[in-house]
Amino acid sequence: MKVLVLGGSSGFLGSHLKKKLKDPIQCEFVSMRDLSWSKENFPTDCIINLVGKAHDFTGKATEEDFFFANFELAKKAFSIFISSQAKLFIHISSLAAIEEVESAKSLSENANYNSVSPYGRSKQAAEEWLLSQKITCRQEIDYLASAHGAWRRR
């Protein structure tokens, strides 16, 4: 299987994914900052979108920064998928797209959106946009709603 991963291999998700994706999986990590790789022919079975902005430790990020990274680049990633031969598009989202405060009841795929921060609203916008897109019968979109790890502990 050939996998094209949009996003770096040095970030939290990318570094863990790189350790796990081994032979027989052929994996190519590419940047969305420099699209020169898109001119190369890398036939792929699956595209994984890791691109996004989750945190603002500096306090300087704007709502536009979150929407560019989490919404506009998700649209670009989907465009790359549609123009490829890949059959599977995996989009990394966030529970924050649905709920950012503790919920009194269990969340499901049918839960109402309750995102309040620029991060949550931008992830919600990407999910809603992706769900509205038409795909061919040979293509599938899968969402991973939550990814977290040791970096959350302070």
pLDDT digits (tens, 9 = 90+) for 86-143: 999 888 888 777 777 777 777 777 777 878 889 989 998 998 899 899 887 677 666 6
Q: What percent of the chain has pLDDT above 90?
A: 21
pLDDT value of residue 134: 85
Domain of 95? 2-152
Start-to-end C-alpha separation, the chain: 38
Domain count along the chain: 1
CB count within 10 Å of CB 3 equals 20
DSSP class of residue 70 equals I
Q: What percent of the chain has pLDDT above 70?
A: 89
Q: Which CATH number belongs to the domain containing residue 41 in this structure?
A: 3.40.50.720
Q: What percent of the residues of the chain are helix, what percent strand, and what percent coil, each to the nearest 5? A: 35, 15, 45
Do residues 45 and 5 touch, judged by C-beta distance below 8 A? no
Give the tens place of pLDDT for each residue, 30-81.
888 888 887 777 789 999 998 888 877 888 999 999 999 999 999 999 999 9
